[in-house]
Structures are given as C-alpha cells and as structure tokens.
Amino acid sequence: MAYLSEPLRFLDSEEMRRIHAGALRILEETGMWIDHDESLEILRSAGCRVDGDARRVTFPVEVVEAAVVRMREAYSRPDRVPARMAVRYSHVRFRSEPYRIHSDFTVSTGGFCCFLVDLEGRRRRATIDDVRASLRLADALPNIDLTGLPVSAQEVPHHERPVRMAAELVKTTRKLGGIETFCAHDAGYITKIAEVAAGGADALRREPILVGYGEARSPLCFDRNMAEIFVAYVRAGLPQTLDTMVNGGATAPMTPAACLALGMAETLSAVVLAQAIDAEAVVGVDLIPSFMDMSSGIFRYAGPERWPLLGARLQLQQEFYGCPAGVHGGKTDACVPGVQVGIEKAMSMIMPVLCGAVGVGTVGHLENAVTFSPVQLVIDDAIAAYVRRSVQGLDVTDETLALESIREIGPGGEFLTHPTTAEWCRESAMMHSLFERAPWQTIHNGELVGMEARARAEAERLMGRETERPLTADQESAIDEIVEEGCRTHPLRG
C-alpha cells in the first residue's frame, strides 16, 4: 500500500539557516542562566565562557557548531543504538532518515494529570484506582501505541509520585512511554525499575523505557533540579533531549521566527553540555513552541496559529538538524467535549503528521492538558484511526484496477453482491464502531446513541476488564523493593 510522502514545508533553506544563526547569536551574546555548579564547570571545560557568580554561560559559535556537527554525524550512523525512545509526550528517533510524512507515526497518552473527568462527568482529583483504570484503558485501545501516566494519584505524597507511578506503569502495560521526573533522586530509582522491566541494564540501553527529561525554563534558564536530572541521565548512558516550551508573548517574543530561534538556542545548549559529559552521549534537540492566549494567559495547545509554528519546528528539527521527532498533538484548549474539542483534536493530529511528525501526543486531555478524560481518550483513539486512514495512499495494480470485474458486471450492473466488494471493503473504507453513519429517520426512532455515549460505554468496559500482567511475580517483587527504598531515602521525606 502506498502512502503520502511529501511533507508540508513552511521554511526554505535560507530561512532555516537564519533561524539557526539567530540561535547561535542568542547563545553567544546573551547566553543561558544555569543554576548548577557541575554543569557550569563542565561547560567551562568545553570552551564556554562562564560567570560563576551570575551563573551565566555564553557559548562561542564554534563550540555550538562543533556540537551540531557531532550530533548530525551520530544520527547518520545506521547502526546507532537506540533507534528511538518514548518521551513524556510522544517519541523521538535517534537515527536520521529522509524528511517525509511518517505513515507509521505513533500516538501516545500520559501527562501525569492531577485531575480527571470520570465516567459520571465529574471533574475531581485522580486516585490510585484512576491510575490503574486509565492504564488498562490505554493498554486496550488499538491506536494508542505508547502510554505514560494519564493521571497521577493525588493521595500519594508528591515527592513519591514519580517512583510509585513508574511502578504502576510497568506492572500494567507493555506500551511503555516516558515519565515525569522531579529530581535526580527519582531518576536513579526509575532507572532501576526500568532495568527490571526491560530485562537488564544492557536491554534498557538498547531499548530505553521510562526515561525522564530535563526542561528549560524560558527564556534561557536551566534550573538546578532540571540540570541535575539531565546530567544524571546522560551519565547513566540514557538518551536525552532538553525540552523547551517557548510561549510567544510571555516567555518569548510574539513572532514565530523568534520563538524558534530562542527555543532552539535553549535546546542546543544542552547538546553542548551532554557531549561535554560524554562524547558518545545519545542526545538530540527538542522544541515545543506556542503563543500565549492574550485573553486568558494560557499556553495555547490548539490554536490555528500554532500549526505553521509546529510545522516549521518539525522541518527545522528534521531537515536542518537531522533529528526526527514527535510533537504535542491531539490537544484541545476546551474544558468539555464538544464541537471545539473535535476541531482542535483532529487538526492537532493531522497537521503535525502532514508536516512530518513521527508521533503525536499526549491524547485524552481536556483543559489545556490539565485534565484527563477516559471518554475523550476513547474518542481520540478513533480520531487517530481516522488520521491513519487519511494518510494512506492508493495501490494501482492489475488487481486493484479490477478491469475483469468491471467487464463482468458491465453497463447498468451493481457491485454490492460481487465477491470483490466483500474482499476489499474493509481495506478500502474505514469501519469504526464509534462513528455513526445513518439516515435521518433513525434519530426519530431513538436508534442514534451519539459518539460520546458510545465512547463512555467503551471506556467503562475496557477499564473494568481484567488484563494479563506484563511482568513476572519476581519482577514485581523486585520493583516493590526499589520503590520502598526510593521513597524511604528521598531527600524530601518528612
């Protein structure tokens, strides 16, 4: 089966070069505030200019350019390990490939949300039972490829949540995505959990799971806890990208070009840092830009102005830097399901895919990614199926031309009863139980249920079912010991 291949492009080569040059100037002239003594010394040894008192680092152009060259060369190795890794919102690939539409894009859920809208429509704080039910749901849905924690249990002390929730994740599903990490202490224990689930340290390096992340605080700040997490993962030999979520009009200038240049400067600073720690570090760039909504102050996940910005980011990251990656997609800024949610969810999936995203996520959210909804996750799974079918192309062969069937039926005939119709109908047309296709009179007969009601019933069924445990009893026992040790030794305990 052929697929669409040529991605939408928003930049030409000169525009990409100018954005990169802007990022280099930002790093050289303005620099980064980095609140981490070890990182400051590492960057000083790498040739950066460090003002220890002010915690300000400026990066000579030649230092950054050399890091970019090494990153591109590493991505070009066909045998590079790992090939890909799930992150907290989608996944990244660590081998270069042609810039194209990826028909094998992944869809992920997660988000570590504090709130959910339950099946009765109540918005409330999430519990441990909600964690387990949401993971069972994600595990069962056919178009959800990866899952982190859709919700986090609010009755668990906040400093224990990353480690305890990581244990719940590996005990419930094999669709293991990334996870939120709040301090370097968490990173060590989550890595131990991941090694047990993966089958050992070497297996984890080959196919990393449960890897957390560092995140810049725009504009141009790398806080201590995030730097500690980033350095800890690099030293452990696990892949890293520095996530940066520039917000035009709030933490970045209100122009797309400036958002891209500023965000790229932030993430490139971490490429220099990682390579200075380990010349063989598996590291890439990451950037999640948007604009602030001037009526509410929120970071807009789903406005139409965001899609050219994300499209340009995907092109810049893949075509210029050679780093294929996914994006925040399947999002909405609305609080309740409805027409706005449908528009924003569908557009925020299909547009990134058409722009070359290797994955979209995290789905199942309402309210600007603050609240998780199991009903919405079921609907988002259906939207993902719709998008997958939309980027499927056409096969033109002797068989698919069906000239013999046309000759056999002839003028005025019908193909409903012809054997080839039953043979090809499921491949040629998407059939999904959530979508209703019925004549008008079924409304008056009371036969139409509606998508939300169907989704609610499906969510209830899947969350209530028993599932096969992905780990052995010995693995679960080993993980329980790691969790208890991690919580007992946590620096914030007590």
State the Cα–Cα distance between residues 208 and 210, nearest whole angstrom.
Answer: 7
Query: Lowest mean pLDDT: which of 79-83, 173-177, 337-341?
Result: 337-341
Percent of the chain with pLDDT over 90: 76
Q: What's the confidence (pLDDT) of residue 434?
A: 79
Residue 411, Cβ density class (10 Å: 0-12 exposed, 13-18 middle, ≥19 buried): exposed
Evaluate whether 274 touches 281 at the Cβ level (below 8 Å). yes
Average of pLDDT values for 454-461? 94
Question: What is the third-level CATH fold of 13-390?
Answer: TIM Barrel (3.20.20)
Q: Flag whether pLDDT at 415 surpasses 90.
A: no
Structure tokens at 30: 């303005």
Calculate the alpha carbon distances from 75 to 83, 111, 280 in Å: 9, 28, 11
Q: What's the confidence (pLDDT) of residue 444?
A: 67
Evaluate whether 320 touches 21 at the Cβ level (below 8 Å). no
User: Which residue spans within 128-227 are E strands per DSSP?
Assistant: 146-147, 214-215, 221-222
116-131 in b/e burial notation, b at 16+ Cβ within 10 A? bbbeeeeeeebbbebb
Q: Flag whether pLDDT at 52 surpasses 90.
A: yes
Q: Tell me the three state secondary structure of residue 66.
A: helix
The structural domains of the chain, with segments of one domain joined by +, span 13-390, 398-428
Query: Lowest mean pLDDT: which of 13-17, 159-163, 220-224, 432-436?
Result: 432-436
Query: Lowest mean pLDDT: which of 208-212, 227-231, 307-311, 465-469?
Result: 465-469
Instruction: Note the pLDDT tens digit of each residue in 203-212.
Output: 999 999 999 8
What is the full DSSP assignment across 94-130? SS---S---TT-EEEE---BSEEE-TTS-EEE--HHH
Instruction: Note the pLDDT tens digit of each residue in 338-374.
Output: 889 999 999 999 999 999 999 998 999 999 888 999 9
Q: Is 215 left (phi over 0), alpha (psi -120 to 50) or beta?
A: beta
Average pLDDT, the chain: 93
Q: Tell me the three state secondary structure of residue 71.
A: helix
Largest CA distance in the chain: 86
pTM equals 0.93
Strands 32-34 and 371-372: unpaired
Q: What's the confidence (pLDDT) of residue 467?
A: 83
Structure tokens at 29: 């002239």
Residue with tokens 């070890």: 38
Instruction: Note the pLDDT tens digit of each residue in 131-149.
Output: 999 999 999 999 999 999 9
Q: Is 483 left (phi over 0), alpha (psi -120 to 50) or beta?
A: alpha
Q: What's the confidence (pLDDT) of residue 4?
A: 67
Q: Flag whether pLDDT at 2 surpasses 70.
A: no
- Residues sharing a CB contact under 8 Å with residue 16, sequence separation 6 or more, in sequence order: 315, 316, 319, 320
State the Cα–Cα distance between residues 238 and 94, nearest whole angstrom.
Answer: 12
Q: Flag whether pLDDT at 188 surpasses 70.
A: yes
Q: What's the confidence (pLDDT) of residue 432?
A: 79
Average of pLDDT values for 230-256? 94
State the Cα–Cα distance between residues 63 and 65, nearest whole angstrom.
Answer: 6
